[in-house]
Structure 1
């Protein structure tokens, strides 16, 4: 593993991924205090997923107490698919699915900020290696 900082290091976004849910949670804090528990749970969920991409590796780490890791060489990646709803496009977040071989993705991550940057970076690195 290189000592350089990763080119992309992202966690799913909270507000930008679900702005209406975030606003509702804040309103529930004022009304009942329940929103604070919702926001804490939501925050822990977003921090439990980390996508890192460095020069030649894609790393996905999931979990708080129990961890799951997926490491892929960029050369193995066939496709990075980006899905965005209308609101996702407004708030510049989306879902990415990474495919190597076959019809099923190696992994999917929702709520990633600027998903097109991830796709373009992987494509550029893959083309540079070829």
Structure 2
């Protein structure tokens, strides 16, 4: 039975603290910073990553919706990218490629606990492959 193990939205401040502070400073300039922060917040709110025991699902959009999923047994490669500041704040970029694609099928930036996603997928893609062969 499929069970959710991780569900998060991208984060704003922890991923780009300098950009966040600059946007705050730009609020008095015709509300420009407020527009930047609102747009950024809606983008983060409209993106959800869910990792279950069987698959990774990305849902994007507030009005229009886009969903992409990759089953762990089909995962060919997982990449986690983090700048120095992102490592300090525990966020990063997660890219997942499956055997049926030449490029990554899932790519989401600014996710909290990005390495946890990799660990979950690694654990369930190997246990799924072993289980499919009939060995334990």
Q: Same fold (TM over 0.5)?
A: yes
- Residues 111-120 or 94-103, more deviating: 94-103
Q: How many Å separate the matches in 2 of 1:48 and 1:68?
A: 10
Give TM-score scaled by structure 2 length.
0.86
Which position in structure 1 is the counterpart of 2:11? Answer: 13
Q: How many Å separate the matches in 2 of 1:125 and 1:48?
A: 27
Tell me the alpha carbon deviations over residues 40-91 of structure 1, each in whole angstroms, 9 at most, x when there is no partner.
1110011121110111121111112111111221111122111111121122
Give TM-score scaled by structure 1 length.
0.89
Q: How many Å separate the matches in 2 of 1:29 and 1:21?
A: 13
Q: How many residues align?
A: 128
Which position in structure 1 is the counterpart of 2:123? Answer: 124
Q: Which structure would you say has the larger Rg? A: 2
Query: 1:31: how far off?
Result: 5.3
* Structure 1 residues not aligned, in runs of 5+: none
Please tell me the root mean square deviation across aligned C-alpha atoms, in Å.
1.7
Q: How does 1:24-35 map to 2 (within 5 A)?
A: 24-30=22-28, 32-35=30-33
* Structure 2 residues not aligned, in runs of 5+: 131-136
